[in-house]
Amino acid sequence: MNVKQIGAGPMDNFCYLAWAGDGPDCAVIDPCWEGAKIEKELLALGLKPALIVLTHGHPDHINAAAWFLERYEGLQAALHPADDHMAGALDKSRLLPVADGEALEAGALKLKVIHTPGHTPGSCSFLGPGAVFTGDTLFVGEIGRVDLPGADPEQMRQSLLKLAALPEDTVVWPGHAYNGSTTTIRAQKLHNIYIKLAAKGGDAFLSAAL
Ligand SMILES: [Fe+2]
């Protein structure tokens, strides 16, 4: 899997282009803030958007999705239905509901949906060959907020355990540039205090996360 990380907007968000490499089709993961800039990167790589993939419904991750949907006929945006209520600016008929365990396709690239609620009810991570896109569930040494409406710290704990169970050499591509731009599951199991506490149990995790 090829991955292009693109920083966008005032909140240090990351958008990603992911593609298999044997054709122009790519997934555009969390198109945000700067649609024209993201499209410019995409075209420079000889790519075309085959699927928009949204890690969750918060505006700072999806606020350029409509920009792409307006310009690319037939393009859909994959989003877990539990976050549909946050995606009011998007045409509902263009949303592709996803569920845990499903495989999404963008050309030859397959991305497995891992439902990782906690930051929001519909937060998902997307696992491609050798790498996972974690949105606001897992950052470098940090995790997403669990004190916002719809957040659930115990669900976040369970979701972190799901991610920690991935192969240790899996590359992590987070949704924000907090403490760095990329890491691995191995490094997070060693150094991310929240993953360590998640494994120890609910009380220890909750007192740190809230
Ligand atoms: Fe978020």
- Number of structural domains (the chain) is 1
55-77: pLDDT as tens digits: 999 999 999 999 999 999 999 99
What is the distance in A from the centroid of ligand 1 to the CA of 10? 14
Q: What confidence score (pLDDT) does residue 203 get?
A: 84
Q: What confidence score (pLDDT) does residue 77 get?
A: 98
Exposure of 86 by Cβ count < 10 A (0-12 exposed, 13-18 middle, 19+ buried)?
buried
Residues with CB under 5 A from ligand 1 (ion): 58, 136
- Average pLDDT for 91-112: 97
165-187: pLDDT as tens digits: 999 999 999 999 999 999 999 99
**pLDDT range class, residue 206, cuts 50, 70, 90:** confident
What is the distance in A from the centroid of ligand 1 to the CA of 56? 7
- Average pLDDT for 33-52: 98
Predicted TM-score (pTM) above 0.95:
yes
The 8-class DSSP code of residue 55 comes to S
Q: By C-alpha distance, which of 164, 210, 154 is closest to 191?
A: 164
Neighbours of 129 (CB within 10 A): 12
> Alpha carbon 111 to chain centroid distance?
11
Distance, CA of 116 to CA of 65 (rounded, Å): 21
What is the distance in A from the centroid of ligand 1 to the CA of 162? 19
Q: By C-alpha distance, which of 121, 200, 187, 185 is closest to 153?
A: 121
Q: What confidence score (pLDDT) does residue 209 get?
A: 86
What is the distance in A from the centroid of ligand 1 to the CA of 144? 7
Q: The domain containing residue 90 runs over which residues?
A: 2-209
> Three-class SS of residue 34?
coil
CATH number (domain holding residue 202): 3.60.15.10
What is the distance in A from the centroid of ligand 1 to the CA of 175? 8
What is the distance in A from the centroid of ligand 1 to the CA of 76? 21
